[in-house]
Amino acid sequence: MSFPKKGKSLPPEFMDDLTFATVISLALKRAAKDRQVTVKMVVNWTGANERTVKNWFSGKFGPSGDHLMVLARYCDEVMVAVMRMAGRKSGLMTFTLDEVERRLLTALSMLHELKAEES
């Protein structure tokens, strides 16, 4: 099976063929690209050794359970990857709705600030 040519995420059936370490690596790389998450940031989040974190990014090894939970707390891409690996599509919908709500509240706050400036 080859990698998909287009799109930002892997189809669920494709993820079944990937190892845990590879899926986490892809999620971390996506976070690095989309949100400028760096190795040093992940080291600070998890307290793991820098070489260990580089191995996670490369897909050579996956994080332990404790480190995985910390990554999921700070990195949405890892959280989504874990939920997909676990087959929790309903949880993904809730997770996505939470993100939409957060962004809407941020936009609403910005609109209130603009309105206040005009007054």
Q: d(Cα 79, Cα 95) in Å, to the nearest integer?
A: 9
Whether the Cβ atoms of residue 101 and residue 93 lie closer than 8 Å to each other: no
pTM, to two decimals: 0.62
Summarised one tens digit per residue, pLDDT across range 2-37 is 555 555 555 555 555 689 999 999 999 999 998 899
Predicted local distance difference test score (pLDDT) of residue 84 = 87
**Alpha-carbon 32 to chain mean position:** 9
Q: d(Cα 79, Cα 23) in Å, to the nearest integer?
A: 11
Q: d(Cα 87, Cα 80) in Å, to the nearest integer?
A: 10
